[in-house]
Structure 1
Amino acid sequence: MKINIDISVIIPAFNAADSIGVLVHTLLGETTLSTEIIVVDDGSSDETWTVLSAITDERLILIRQENQGVYAARNTALAIHRGEWVVFLDADDRIAADFLQERLRTAREAQADVALFNARHTDSAGHLRHPVHRRQPYGQTLTGQQWIRHCVSRREWPHYLWLQIIRSAYIREHNLRFQEGKSHKDILWTIQLAAADGRFYFSDRQDYLWVNNPASITHRPDYYDIRAFSYIDVIADILALSTQTQYRAVRRALVRHALVESRHFLGLYRRRVNDRQAVRARFRARIAFRHLVPGVSNLSDAFFLLKLVRNIYLPGVRNTPAAVSQERR
């Protein structure tokens, strides 16, 4: 007998004992639609599994695996999900009480393959701050490739997975899965999601609270180098996508986007990275300067490229304390 499930909610959890229970109970509180909530405990060493195991509800599916990272955890859940739609959440964030119901209604009414929503920044005390994005085509429907060009021209790329509700058939049709790694792979997922050129709808509904958690792994000093290496891989993969025939219509936009991500990388490199020599060597090995040049569209881009050359590409750049101090200014 086929089970009809409206939405599969996929949540990777790593040492999330303090927050995962609240999120799961909020989701289970929505009873007007059929859901499955797949939580993948990705090798937690705290009481995450104990908290989850104490929740008795047939809609909750628990998977426990050795630590492989959030993207591998999402792939694990994608392989078994049964819902018509998919929503990705993070274990430590907060959602509105009617989060799933309203997202499903909006996506169906728009006849979308992917619907994107908005969110608000908040701190751990619950103080609301500014919206996550402001320049999206709210209330409109675009093809995915039109959206890529829109985002690049406005320099706003909302790649966060928890903004999205995606038709499962669209994921399967285009054989979409996450590139496994430590960080920033949601950028690549969203590009491939859009490059497949489905029907995208945009809502300014701010139904998700993005908690700024200074204690998260992404803010740990020993994680900055990992983030830098991940940025390099993402930039190289965006450039590789831009050379593929099926993405010819957005080739220039993809290269421009790679240049934007290079800006983010350089900011991290100049201010946070510890092993600058290894990071610089990896960037030069994976990303040829000439491949970034077509992404230049204004003087700001040109000046940035000069800065990238000075910091990354020029041979014999000293890594003395004085040079590091000068670069970080």
Structure 2
Amino acid sequence: MTAPRGQQGAGAARSLALVIPVRNDARGLAALLRQAAEMGCFSQVVIADDASDRRVRRWHVPLSLLGCTTVLRSRVQGGAGQARNRALAAVGCSHLVFFDSDDLFTADLPPLWQELDGEDFDFCLFRHYDSRALAQGRLGQMPVDDLLWRMAGCAAGGLQMVSGLAAARLAETANYPWNKIYRTAFLREHGVRFSELPVHNDIAAHWQSFACAGRILASDRAAAVHAVREGGGRLTNRRSAERLRVFEALAEAAAAVRARHGTASVLMLALLRFACGLIDWVRGQIETGLQAEFDRLAAGFLGRELGRDGLSGWLSREDPVLALRVTLLMAQGTGRGQS
């Protein structure tokens, strides 16, 4: 068996792999593969077909990518997280980018990859365009993400190394899997994996990445267009009990942050702020009949975290406003916030 194109050994040149989880999205996959072929910066493509009704076949792949493309097929649907984990094992390139079949790159990806030549980094986070912002006549990300990039000092100024508070601010941005170029060995050395959940499978890997990375780069290039559509089967639109499992992903994220940075850290503060915002968002998404159970689970998650290693007292001193927000969410789940 020959090694995948771009297999890295000692002294080998850097190379970039494109990893695409897909289920029943032949049209989106075809558009993304055509774009990838035109860009000419990918040495390997790994397609993880998550039990599509009509399986992905190699003849879907443009001729110029055919020789470096691997198609993995799951017989049983396992979700995008499981598909990405399977695909990671097949990557032979020094670096990779996970990308969803229903999103597209911008023309900024090849120059970003070129700009990273010679840089030593674990992952590089880049900006994106969001279709919801475009629909509002704005070119960019959603307002909260744009604010966090500005607070981190990374909204302009080109490629830069980030750490400490700046990195924590960027960790609070929407936990997407496709806005980072990873060093493959970093993911493997630290066992960074996606949660194999129906939804929210990107949260743990995102926070594990920020917790474990020693060298994080941020680029103000917007290298992707993220499409969010109302209705349909996209994960964003799901309102069922699957959403209740978000606390499994958040618990994984908290464990990773604790293990690498301890309880009292700027990254833990960032995670708690993110978790509170996500809890509010999910509660507004799910079916009304699930809200009481969701509130109970939210209170349990937050209570467990605040009970670890004096986190509650430290949080009250470090960020009283956030401490109050956490307290109110816990009260909502225990009934103490109801009159």
Q: Which moved more, 1:261-270 or 1:126-135?
A: 126-135
Q: Which moved more, 1:185-194 or 1:286-295?
A: 286-295
Q: Which residue of 1 aligns with 2:30?
A: 21
Q: Which residue of 2 aligns with 1:149?
A: 168
> Secondary structure of the residue that 1:10 maps to in structure 2?
strand
Q: TM-score by structure 1 length?
A: 0.80
> Secondary structure of the residue that 1:82 maps to in structure 2?
coil
Same amino acid, percent of matched pairs? 18
- Letter paired with 2:276: S
Matched, 1:168 2:162: no
The counterpart of 1:110, out of the listed 113, 116, 119, is 119
The counterpart of 1:261, out of the listed 275, 300, 312, is 275
Mapped to 1, the partners of 2:133 and 2:55 lie a distance apart of 19
Q: Which moved more, 1:83-92 or 1:207-216?
A: 207-216
Q: CA deviation at 1:226?
A: 1.7
Deviations 1:75-109 (A, max 9, x none): 0000111011010100101112462x323222224
Matched, 1:251 2:260: no
Q: CA deviation at 1:241?
A: 3.3
Matched, 1:283 2:285: no
Mapped to 1, the partners of 2:263 and 2:272 lie a distance apart of 16
The counterpart of 1:53, out of the listed 50, 54, 59, is 59
User: Is the contact made by 1:148 and 1:195 (CA closer than 8 Å) also made in structure 2?
Assistant: no
Mapped to 2, the partners of 1:267 and 1:209 lie a distance apart of 22
Q: Which residue of 2 aligns with 1:40?
A: 48
The counterpart of 1:217, out of the listed 191, 210, 234, is 234
Q: Which residue of 1 aligns with 2:19?
A: 10
> Secondary structure of the residue that 1:21 maps to in structure 2?
helix
Q: 1:243 to 1:122 in 2, by over 3 A?
A: closer
- Letter paired with 1:102: P
User: Is the contact made by 1:183 and 1:226 (CA closer than 8 Å) also made in structure 2?
Assistant: yes
- Letter paired with 1:262: C
- Letter paired with 1:226: E
Matched, 1:239 2:258: no
Q: Which residue of 2 aligns with 1:326?
A: none
Q: CA deviation at 1:314?
A: 2.8
User: Is the contact made by 2:203 and 2:250 (CA closer than 8 Å) also made in structure 1?
Assistant: no
Mapped to 2, the partners of 1:37 and 1:128 lie a distance apart of 34
Q: Which residue of 1 aligns with 2:10?
A: none
- Letter paired with 2:50: D
Q: CA deviation at 1:237?
A: 2.7
Q: TM-score by structure 2 length?
A: 0.78
- Letter paired with 2:60: A
Q: CA deviation at 1:270?
A: 4.8
Equivalent runs, 1:24-103 vs 2, <5 Å: 24-31=33-40, 33=41, 35-45=43-53, 47=54, 49=56, 53-55=59-61, 56=63, 57-65=66-74, 66-97=76-107, 99=109, 101-103=110-112
Q: Which residue of 1 aligns with 2:129?
A: 120
- Letter paired with 2:272: A
Mapped to 2, the partners of 1:116 and 1:242 lie a distance apart of 18
Deviations 1:52-80 (A, max 9, x none): 63335112211110210000000000011
Mapped to 2, the partners of 1:305 and 1:126 lie a distance apart of 33
Mapped to 1, the partners of 2:188 and 2:285 lie a distance apart of 40
Deviations 1:257-311 (A, max 9, x none): 2243123213422553432343234334444263473445445424423431332
The counterpart of 1:140, out of the listed 124, 140, 160, is 160
For structure 1, the residue ranges without an aligned partner over 5 or more in a row are 324-329
How many residues of Structure 1 are paired with residues of Structure 2 in the alignment? 307
Mapped to 2, the partners of 1:271 and 1:82 lie a distance apart of 39
For structure 2, the residue ranges without an aligned partner over 5 or more in a row are 8-14
> Secondary structure of the residue that 1:275 maps to in structure 2?
helix
> Secondary structure of the residue that 1:68 maps to in structure 2?
coil
Mapped to 2, the partners of 1:218 and 1:242 lie a distance apart of 26
User: Is the contact made by 1:159 and 1:186 (CA closer than 8 Å) also made in structure 2?
Assistant: yes
CA RMSD of aligned residues (A): 3.1
> Secondary structure of the residue that 2:124 maps to in structure 1?
strand
> Secondary structure of the residue that 2:24 maps to in structure 1?
coil
> Secondary structure of the residue that 1:63 maps to in structure 2?
strand
> Secondary structure of the residue that 2:202 maps to in structure 1?
helix
